Amino acid sequence: MKAANRGYTDIKLRERGTKKVHIFAGERVQVDKPAGAPAWMPEKIWKPKVKKMGIDKLAEI
């Protein structure tokens, strides 16, 4: 979520202690602020969206 909110679209995260790489597709969309939002928040906010595309396994060396 943090990487998508910063504008990354192709996100790959390696699982610690294993040889798995999790692959995500990220995007930012502009939405209206929530109903209970404070007054200082702007009318439109950026919200991250992330979808898991799959898992790759690293090759043995």
Instruction: Give 23-47 pLDDT, tens digit per residue.
Output: 999 999 999 999 999 999 999 999 9
Q: Which domain does 7 fall in, by range?
A: 2-34+41-57
Strand partners, 32: 44
Alpha-carbon span 57 to 50, nearest angstrom = 21
DSSP strands (E only) in the chain: 10-14, 20-32, 44-57
The answer to whether residue 8 scores a pLDDT higher than 80 is: yes
Q: How far apart are the first and last CA of the chain?
A: 31
Percent of the chain with pLDDT over 70: 97
Number of domains in the chain: 1
Strands 20-32 and 44-57: antiparallel
φ/ψ bin of 5: left (φ > 0), alpha (ψ from -120 to 50), beta (otherwise): alpha
State the pLDDT confidence band at 59, using cuts at 50, 70 and 90. confident
